Chains A and B, each alone.
Chain A
Amino acid sequence: MYSLGRLAGRQCARFEEHLLVCADCQRRLQEADTFVAAMRAAGASYARKPTVRAVGG
């Protein structure tokens, strides 16, 4: 959520505070940022489509 810019207020503050001191979360955020950037690059032409529902479920 933070990588997408969708974390706000107190949750965002708490996460950013922690991020300053946690190498593991820095690494994970970097991975998430890379993924989101790749998705955005890939998905520029993807318009909303009808939903694919689970088969038999």
Chain B
Amino acid sequence: MQAVISRAGMKNTSECGPGEKEGVEERQGEMTSVVGGAPNWANLVEQIRRDDPAGMEELYRVFARGIRFYLCRQLGPQELDDRVHDTFLIVVQAIRRGDLREPERLMGFVRTIVRRQVAAHIDGLVQSRRQEVEIDMNARLPDRTWNPEQSLASTEHVHLMRRVLSALSERDREVLVRFYLHEEPQAQICRDMELTETQFRLLKSRAKARFGELGKKKLQQGALNALFVRSYSGMRH
């Protein structure tokens, strides 16, 4: 299947401007710095088409970290190096075949290929899982549950986070729970809590910061407690 990108009128998003500090999920329109500065996409694509090593180096410099980040976020760290390498090969081969018709759309082109890699991997997992079941319906499937140590760590983590959330003011907690857990629209939360959009952003931002601070403190306390317990038990034996 050819990856032909011909979406016209898309802005080159590598130009970045100032914006609010709260977090990436709030920054849809804002674009910050491209790794090491944005290259000239047309020159870069031309270099790759000519098999110029400088073009390959530049492509890697600009996209390696992002591709790695995206693949790791979607698929986890297993075989990450191989996946990144495969993705680069596919991108380069597709460019050389002439699949990228508009060089300025290189970022979108790479994104499409990375997404296909993710989709193909997930399809592969689903297929192999299906085959496992079909081969022997009565066969014992691999145990994919957590071991007791992992379960304990997870339970402790959940308890810790609940304590952090409980320690927030009711209003802070409400805004976080409604937005992040119940996924209520901002407009509805503003209406119910009698907040303007600015007040909502400010309240949410402060609540997030408070949640983070308390979480760190609780984690440090937990580490200290664990250290104390270890030291104490060491003294007794």
Contacts and interface: CB of A to CB of B under 8 A. Distances in A.
Interface of A: 1-4, 6-7, 11, 13-26, 28-33, 35-36, 38-46, 48-49, 51-54, 57
B48 interface: no
B100 interface: no
B146 to A, nearest CB: 14
Main secondary structure of the interface of B (DSSP, over half): helix
Given A43-B165, A43-B176, 4 more contacts: A22-B14, A29-B24, A33-B73, A46-B181
Given A26-B69, A32-B25, A51-B193, A39 B215 contact: no
B229 interface: no
Interface of B: 10-11, 13-14, 16, 23-28, 31-35, 38, 62-63, 65-67, 69-70, 73, 107-108, 110-111, 114-115, 157-158, 161-162, 164-165, 170-171, 174, 176-178, 180-183, 192-195, 208, 211-212, 215
A39 B181 contact: yes
User: Which of B24, B67, B73, B215 is the most central at the interface, judged by chain A CB atoms within 10 Å of its CB?
Assistant: B24
Contacts of B73: 29, 33
Contacts, number: 143
Contacts of B193: 51-54
Nearest to B193: A51
B157 A35 contact: no
A41 B161 contact: yes
A51 B174 CA distance: 7
B25 A26 contact: no
B164 to A, nearest CB: 6
A7 B24 CA distance: 12
Contacts of A1: 25-26, 28
Given A21-B63, A24-B32, A28-B27, A48 B70 contact: no
